[in-house]
Structure 1
Amino acid sequence: MDERMDILRKYNLWTEGDFDFGFMRVAYTGRIMDYVGNRLVKVLIGQRRTGKSYVLRQIARELIRNGVPPQNTLFINRELSDFAFLKTHKDLEELVALYKSELHPQGRMYIFIDEVQLIQEWEKSVNSYSQDYTEEYELFISGSNSRMLSGELATLLSGRYVQFPIYPFSYQEYTEIRHLEQNRESYMGYMNTGGIPELFVLPEKQEVQRNYLSALKDTILLKDIIQRYSIRDPRLLEDLFAFLVGNASNLVSIGNIVNYFKSQGRKTSYDAVAAYIGYIEDSFLAYRCERFDLRGKEILSGTAKYYINDLAFKNFLYPGTAYGVGYKLENLVYLELLRAGYDVYTGCAKEKEVDFVARKGDRTVYLQSTYMLVDEQTMRREYASLESIQDNYEKLVVSLDDFCLPSNEGIRHVRAWELHGLL
């Protein structure tokens, strides 16, 4: 028997095997299942180790529970060493042909390919299967690079795919896993740990968790950036990531960063810094939040804010950087807006700044985040930026106060742990 079939049998749901499906991420599976039953390619993207593989397995199991024969599902995880023989799209097509010849699936086949970008010219096979009208294929693929759909595949598929960003555990998932009530205490606990899934199965020891996150960071930098882009200065890449962690929520520009490194005696260039930060963004370690002119209603180039994908990197790897609770809250609010599907900007008008301008469809929400509304001066400062906006879109002030203030001039006060329900 072909040993490749032994590998497939090991990782597929064709028998009553004891498979690990992890924590059910219904926010993702429910959304993705809404798109099942057509030829759209379902694309899951996100940082390594945020649970894309588990979500794919959960979808496959859900399909089987809904009546799809188990042999009509095919699961391939290219990141596993067992699948190292899958080097090119031709290897992939040979494996699919082998699966069909051995299991003889009747009707629609559901193909799941995890970390598909590790297969050379994978887009040719995905495009071919998605357009094959002699047989019915429905594809679900995942990848750890945001540019995997920016080139040839996007052109080939031309709108025949739908994309789902997968993030680390949200605060709501955190409280469900930990069996906690949603309140200030649990929110602070989430803020001071993070949502990287593996943290929830490791011993709750600082050294163990720090070592894991250090290894994860190194793996992402090495496999998703250094090897992929033939990086000449790995030390600069890592130092740039540390800089973004330490300066998250602050307005910075590429020029500022270059000058900072030069002041530290480091030789670098604008182009190198811009490219390396772009790679960090592509691997989902950090996000760039552009400035939005509230008067001209346009995106501004130059300075921007950066937010990290999970506060665990800050908490365990760079705890000494000047990054207070207010900045952590702002980072979490930003991520909550992304999870809710908003396009997010930082707003500016004259000398005032609004932390976030969040837009989704016809809805626009302005948000100001602050640690605590401790006195009248703080309240005036936080509310003033929102009061200066001359339109009627929603305006929210998000804080960690236990109390909730009444609406003021149309501006609502929201406790951070209740923000999810308003988005």
Structure 2
Amino acid sequence: MILKDIIQRYDVSKPKQCIHLYNYLLSNISKAHTLQSAFQYLKNGGFSTSRDAVRRYIHWAQDSWLLFMVPIYSNSLKEQERNYKKIYAIDWALANRNSLIWDGSYSRALENMVFVHLYQRWHRVHYYLTRKKRQELDFIAVDSHGHPVTALQVCIDITQGDTLKRELGAIVTTAKYFGIKENLIVTYNQEKDFHEQGVSVKAIPAWKWMLSPA
């Protein structure tokens, strides 16, 4: 896919460098990414490159539906550019096969699958950082008018008290701030309803959520 859709399509002059970058990005699914970190990775690997070249490689990956670079939710383009982006792949199996190393994190695999499904529903998907405590919300989906409609966290296991507190904290704060009604924690196989500070949050297994009507 990389060779056919990107290397040949764009007549990439340094294919080894380009593929090395993609393998690095595919190894960091669901993690924070900046242009500088990608540029520095190639430099540290002994590649002669530029930030503009790295920017082009990433743009081609997105244009070819290999990767998604998910920005923070903000009405300010400057803030979107200033903050890191999160990396997701169109196909988790492809990412796993082409990554340099896999840490065995099934939570990252689940998060990637949830992102792809959410993107298919809404097309505009961001992550969000709450304003005071800078708690990270995995996903916030936005409708065609730019209004946040879904706040969503991904959590394999919600039985751990500290984990649940963290996940609920970010989602409740975000839901209250934007007035979001659909608030979800997508889990591996657990289901439960929560009511916190006037906000309803539903924990739902991934399979059940993905099979539910949009």
Q: Would you say same fold, with TM above 0.5?
A: yes
Structure number with larger C-alpha Rg = 1
Distance 2:194 2:50 in 1: 49
- What is the CA deviation profile of residues 342-363 of structure 1, one whole-angstrom value per residue up to 9, with x for unaligned ones? 3111112232111111123466
Tell me the distance in 2 between the aligned counterparts of 1:319 and 1:416.
27
1:396: how far off? 1.0
User: What is the 5 A alignment of 1:13-162?
Assistant: none
Instruction: Look up the match of 2:159.
Output: 374
Per-residue deviation, residues 173-194 of structure 1 (Å, max 9, x unmatched): xxxxxxxxxxxxxxxxxxxxxx
What residue number does 2:178 align with?
391
Within a 5 Å distance, the mapping from 1:2-401 to structure 2 comes to 217=1, 221-293=2-74, 297-299=75-77, 300-302=80-82, 303-318=84-99, 320-322=101-103, 324-350=105-131, 351-361=134-144, 364-389=149-174, 390-393=177-180, 394-400=182-188
SS of residue matched to 1:267: coil
Unpaired segments of 5 or more residues in structure 2? none
Kept in 2, the 8 Å contact 1:368–1:398? The answer is: yes
The residue identity in structure 2 corresponding to 1:250 is: K
Report the CA distance between 1:413 and its aligned residue: 1.1
- C-alpha distance in 2 between matches for 1:385 and 1:345: 14
Cα offset for 1:319?
A: 7.3
Contact 2:27 2:96 in 1 (8 A): no
Structure 1 residues 380 and 248, CA, compared in 2 at 3 Å: closer, same or farther?
A: same
Contact 1:397 1:413 in 2 (8 A): yes
> What is the root-mean-square deviation of aligned Cα atoms in Å?
1.9
SS of structure 2 residue aligned to 1:301: helix
CA contact (8 A) 2:151 2:184 kept: yes
Q: Deviations over 1:13-35 (max 9, x none)?
A: xxxxxxxxxxxxxxxxxxxxxxx
1:407 and 2:194 equivalent?
yes
Report the AA paired with residue 358 of structure 1.
A
Q: Give the corresponding residue for 1:65.
A: none
Q: What SS does the corresponding residue of 1:388 show, helix, strand or coil? A: helix
TM-score (norm 2): 0.85
Q: 1:286 to 1:323 in 2, by over 3 A?
A: farther
Distance 2:150 2:17 in 1: 37
Unaligned regions of 5+ residues in structure 1, if any? 1-216
Q: Distance in 1 between matches of 2:95 and 2:68?
A: 15
Describe the shift of the 1:352–1:392 C-alpha distance in structure 2 as closer, same or farther (beyond 3 A): same
SS in 2 for 1:272: helix
State the distance in 2 between where 1:422 and 1:359 align: 17
**Structure 2 contact 138–153 (Cα < 8 Å) conserved:** yes
TM-aligned CA distance change 1:422 to 1:279, over 3 Å: same
Following superposition, the deviation at residue 388 of structure 1 comes to 1.5
CA contact (8 A) 1:247 1:323 kept: no
1:149 aligned partner? none
8 Å contact from structure 2 (residues 6, 64) kept in 1: yes
Instruction: Count matched residues.
Output: 200
Paired with 2:203 and 2:137, the residues of 1 have a C-alpha distance of: 15
Identity among equivalent pairs (%) = 26
Kindly provide the CA deviation profile for residues 224-276 of structure 1, in whole angstroms up to 9, marking residues without a partner as x.
32233221110111111111111111111111111122222322210111101
Q: Which amino acid aligns with 2:81?
A: S
Letter in 2 for 1:417: W
Whether the 8 Å contact between 1:244 and 1:308 is mirrored in structure 2 is no
Does structure 2 conserve the Cα–Cα contact (< 8 Å) formed by 1:252 and 1:304?
yes
Residue type of the partner of 1:405? Answer: K
Partner Cα separation in structure 2 for residue 387 and residue 341 of structure 1: 21
Instruction: Give the equivalent residue in structure 2 for 1:211.
Output: none
Quick check: 1:281–1:288 contact (8 Å CA) kept in 2?
A: yes
Measured after TM superposition, the shift of residue 422 of structure 1 is 5.5
Secondary structure of 1:265's counterpart equals coil
Instruction: Report the equivalent of 1:196.
Output: none
Q: Distance in 1 between matches of 2:32 and 2:99?
A: 19
